[in-house]
Amino acid sequence: MNDVTNGMREGGLTLAYHTIVTVRDGLRRLARPTELGVRSVVTRGDRLLMVRHRSGPTPWSLPGGGVSRGEDLATAALREVREEGGCDAQIQRLLGVYYQHDYGFNNHVGVFVCAALGEARPPVGDIEIVDARFFLPQDVPDNTEAGSLRRIAEFRQGLVGLARSW
């Protein structure tokens, strides 16, 4: 695919992603739902898996997302690592369960510590994720979202069983 076509595709995907996120957030404010999600601190040796979302001021984060109907937290965490990071993983433990009560909804997030079973393979042409890489903790991108940075710090401190605000 030539550079112009690739650039147009990526630009279109970025616009679509931004539109979907804006509409989703508006619907959340109207419906005021309670949501359940997962994130994972995925290690490969001394490195951590980070994924970059298509837009936003802090696009880097730990891999994660929503729990599907009928899906347990652990299965959702491993699915999200596979979908966003492109690698399989094995859960080692639960870091904690976190909550976020703002933007008109209640969000609860289970965060797992996992060991990667392969290299990161970022999705190609994905509407949400544009990159996935392993970083040394001190090299995590500056534009990483704040909740992910707090979870990484707690993991590095050896904390466990937390119940805190995202």
Residues 6+ apart with CB under 8 A from 56: 21, 145
- Cβ burial of 48 (10 Å; 0-12, 13-18, 19+) is buried
- HSE on the CB side for 4, CA within 13 Å? 0
How does the average pLDDT of the chain come out, rounded? 90
Alpha-carbon dihedral 21, 23, 26, 27, rounded to 10 degrees: -110
What pTM was computed for the model?
A: 0.81
- Cβ burial of 82 (10 Å; 0-12, 13-18, 19+) is middle
- What pLDDT, on the 0 to 100 scale, is given for residue 147? 96
Task: Return the residue matching tokens 């147009």.
Answer: 8
Q: How many domains does the chain have?
A: 1
Structure tokens given for 92? 């080692």
Question: Residues 1-10: contacts with CB within 8 Å, 24+ apart?
Answer: 9/125, 10/130
* Structure confidence at residue 16 as a pLDDT band (50, 70, 90): confident
Question: What CATH number did the domain enclosing 11 receive?
Answer: 3.90.79.10
Residue 153 domain boundaries: 3-165
Give yes or no for residue 52 having a pLDDT over 90.
yes
Give yes or no for residue 27 having a pLDDT over 80.
no
Structure tokens given for 25? 């957030």
